[in-house]
Amino acid sequence: MSRVCVIGAGVVGLSTAINIQKLLPGVSVQIVADRFEEETTSIGAGGLFRPNTGHTRATPEHVARRWAIETWKFYSAMATSDMACETGHSVSSGYIFSREPIVNPIYESIVFSCKQMSPSELTSLGITQYPYGYQVTTVLTEMRKYMPWLMDKFKENGGKVEKRKIKDLSELFGQFDVVVNCTGLGSRELLGDMEMHPVRGHLIRVKAPWIKQWVYTDDDTYFITSGEYLVLGGMKQVNNFSLQFDQKDRAGILDRCYKLWPSIQGAKIVDEWVGLRPTRYPLRLEQETLSLPQGEMKIVHNYGHGASGVTLSWGTAVEAAQLVKDSLVGLLNAKM
């Protein structure tokens, strides 16, 4: 039996492991990671499906669109099925406000609906600082449900899990036929990939059950419904490695959200989250044959999704699984 190891248990790693199981049911798949579920960056993601060319800089648009469509097929099927409560997917409507017109956004032809708003519609909502608005119906993913569901699904399919930090890929030599690297920001240390960098984010969860829609703006002010809570954000601090809470950041997010949507004021703050989005331009999705003193090792890389981790995770996982299959076929042919 062929053996595959996936390093990393964020949403990209789990999605990749499950897709390998689906494509190659006769293969043994193991996840090795030093952080799981609540410890991962993925658990704090807002979960709004909103593919954006800015998120996939240096990736050809047709490629990003392919990944987004593949993810959408899976998420929309979950959101409209009897599994929605279990998986954390929901059909959700909201608004995108911008200072400049958004021309042919990737999501326009993918999501359930996308309609530009008239000036009178913006005015009726009290929106004066953004001249352009779009009403969008898409899918929201509640990560605190989705991440455990992915892990349960992986284990139900016979997957094995080991908690361990891999410091060098050579540690896995001879144990697996193919190693899949989904370590995100960890690839800086593991591979010396200095194109990987953090984009620090800060989110605030509040109790605001009277707000039913999400809102996103082009200057990183947004709020997203998530279960019984509302998640307020945000910020994108490039190359900031700090995971500490910052009072100024908190005050800035609250001030911007209150100005954008006054009815948020009075909502009780429940908790906060700071995370480092693992960002690379372009994200890395490719095969590699690593030459080690012991011999050659087949690697598939799938990391660097940044703020698009949830939006592109299933699509890139489908492609990564195919690369694993290609690598295994190549090994088999080499032995013949």
DSSP string, 236-267: -EET----S--HHHHHHHHHHHHHH-GGGTTP
CA distances from 133 to 127, 129, 228 (A): 9, 11, 26
Under 8 Å between Cβ of 311 and 55 = yes
String of DSSP letters for 103-138: -S-GGGGTSSEEEEPPHHHHHHTT--S-SEEEEEEE
How far is 141 from 135, CA to CA, in rounded Å? Answer: 18
pTM equals: 0.96
Residue-averaged pLDDT of the chain: 95
Find out whether 10 and 40 touch, Cβ atoms under 8 Å: yes
pLDDT-based confidence at residue 78 (cuts at 50, 70, 90): very high
Coil, strand or helix at 191: helix
Question: How much is the pLDDT for 103?
Answer: 87
Share of the chain above pLDDT 70, in %: 98
CB 213 within 8 A of CB 225: yes
Structure tokens at 4: 């595959």
Query: Where are the domains positioned within the chain?
Result: 3-335
The pLDDT tens digits for 158-172 are 999 999 999 999 999
Give yes or no for residue 248 having a pLDDT over 90: yes
Q: Taking residues 69-81, what's their average pLDDT?
A: 98
CB atoms within 10 A of CB 98: 16
Q: Is the pLDDT of residue 35 over 70?
A: yes
pLDDT for the residue numbered 146: 98
Q: Are 150 and 103 in contact (CB under 8 A)?
A: no
Q: Rounded to whole angstroms, how far apart are CA atoms 61 and 53?
A: 7
Q: Given the DSSP bridges, would you call strands 268-292 and 197-207 parallel, antiparallel or unpaired?
A: antiparallel
pLDDT of residue 12: 98
The fold of the 3-335 domain, in CATH, is Rossmann fold (3.40.50)
Contact 164, 146 (CB under 8 A): no
Q: Which of 242, 248, 285 is nearest to 59 (CA)?
A: 285
Predicted pLDDT at 55: 57
Q: What is the pLDDT, as a whole number, of residue 84?
A: 98
Residue 26: is the preceding peptide bond cis (ω within 30°)? no
d(CA 226, CA 207): 10
* Average pLDDT of the segment spanning 44-68: 86
**pLDDT tens-digit readout, 281-294:** 999 999 999 999 99
